[in-house]
Amino acid sequence: MSTIADLHIGEIGYISEESLDSIPLKLLEMGCLPGAEVQLIQLAPLKDPLYICVNGSHLAIRKETAEIIKILKSE
């Protein structure tokens, strides 16, 4: 299954229900909830960190965090 780290710039995914327990509490609180739409907006060099928009929040997260959040791609 793919994760946020697999998204291309501009691509949209949906956070999968099964990653609930692995998402850090702080990210949950900032709107990174299962089922939420997540779009990759920009990548820093070396694809780290990632600039995402999730549930209306614009956040920068590190690759290591993005890799543990599983998503379903839209197509």
- Which residue type does 17 have? E
- The single residue among 1, 2, 18, 58 that binds other proteins, judged by CB under 8 A, is 58
What does the per-residue mask of binding to other proteins show for 5-44, with x meaning CB under 8 A? ---------------xx-xxxxxxxxx-xx------xxxx
- The single residue among 48, 67, 73, 74 that binds other proteins, judged by CB under 8 A, is 48
Which secondary structure element, helix H or strand E, spans residue 71, and what is its range? strand 71-73
Are 55 and 37 within 8 A, CB to CB? yes
Write out the two tokens for 14. Answer: 């949906």
Q: What is the total residue count of the chain?
A: 75
Smallest distance, other proteins to C-beta of residue 75, A:
21
Q: 19, 52, 16, 20: which is closest to 35 by C-alpha? A: 16
Smaller CB separation from other proteins, 6 or 30:
30
Binding residues vs other proteins (CB under 8 A): 20-21, 23-31, 33-34, 41-46, 48-49, 51, 55-62, 65
